[in-house]
Structures are given as C-alpha cells and as structure tokens.
Chain A
C-alpha cells in the first residue's frame, strides 16, 4: 500500500466515524500512558468511539500527522475535526467541555478528575510519545 493510499484511508476513517481516536495500542491494551488516559476518559463518559492503533505500521502515524498537522499520539477527532491530544482532552474532560462538545451528558458516576486508566494494565509512562522518523 502506498503512503497516499494510507493517507486516504485515514481521511476516510476520520470522515466516517463521528468520534475516532488514533492511539498506540488498543482500548483493551493501550501501549502508552497518554493513549491509556485518553481511552479511560472516553470510557468514563460512556461514549462510543472508533479506535485505530498506529503502531502496526509507522506510516500510519506519519501520514496521520501530515494530515492533521499534529505531531504526537494520541489524536482525537470529532465530526472530522481534531479535538486534540491527551493534554487538551484532559483539560476539556475536567472542565466538562468534552461532554458538551460530544453532545452527551456526563454520567453521574464519571470521576471529576481525569481517570488514569486501570493501573493493572498500565504501560510504562512517558517515553512512548515519540515520533517515528
């Protein structure tokens, strides 16, 4: 598959899924602390989302970042627009803006502070947030 084909597939996925997260690993098995935290926030809002693992092919990340003009992973898109990475999603989660943007009510049992995810599944923090060259 060519780089252009990969980029087209990514653009299509962003267009077709109202809420889509590009992450390292999967929601069940995140491979990076930042991806894990972002998944945990979305799950605590009880909102369905599509997830794409960028790790199987470095070109996914390369083409995604070229498309979104955003260097790091994770990246969350809503309605075709980049909402941001883990920091922005955390800030919006804690202010309640994330739920508003997604057009949902915050579930009563959602923690006010951004959840860290399940520590039992925690991958080593930090060093994963690097670009593939």
Chain B
C-alpha cells in the first residue's frame, strides 16, 4: 500500500514542476491537490488524465480512489 508521501513523490517526479499535497486516511483512498505549470492551457479533464495516468493499473487496485483537484500555476 502506497503512503501519502509515495503518491506525492510520484506525482511530482512525473509532472515537472508539480507541487502535490496528498492525504490519505487509510493508504487506500487518496486525496490530492496538484498544482503545476504543465497544466497551463489544458482542460480539467486533460489535467486529471496527466495525474491518473501515473497510477495507471493501480487505480482500482492498490489505490481504490484518488480524489483530485488540479490547478495550473
């Protein structure tokens, strides 16, 4: 089971310049707020896809739910 820090680090490593705040009550459900310059000019759907793609194959598995809020900086 990933920790909040692991999820945070993976988001920040995958999206250059991203700053992520991640919370989890149980290491299965995660809530992330991600700010990144790379989100500029993208729709919300595209921003969320960038983050969800990092966890492709894990969403629904070790990560049951990832609640997301994205913001272009």
Shortest C-beta distance, B34 to chain A (Å), equals 11
Residue of A nearest to B63 (CB): A130
Distance of A24 Cα from B8 Cα, bound (Å): 29
Interface of A: prevailing SS: loop
Q: Does B49 contact A (CB under 8 A)?
A: yes
Q: A129-B64, A131-B60 are in contact. Are A91 and B69 (CB under 8 A)?
A: yes
Shortest C-beta distance, A96 to chain B (Å), equals 15
Distance of A85 Cα from B59 Cα, bound (Å): 14
Interface of B: prevailing SS: mixed
A91 touches B44 (CB 8 A): yes
B48-73 contacts to A (CB < 8 Å): 48-49, 52, 56, 59-61, 64-65, 67-69
A-B contact pairs, 21 of them (CB 8 A): A34-B65, A69-B49, A70-B49, A71-B52, A71-B59, A72-B59, A84-B44, A87-B67, A87-B69, A126-B64, A127-B28, A127-B64, A129-B60, A130-B59, A130-B60, A130-B61, A130-B64, A130-B65, A131-B60, A131-B61, A132-B60
B interface residues (Cβ-Cβ under 8 A, vs A): 28-29, 44-45, 48-49, 52, 56, 59-61, 64-65, 67-69
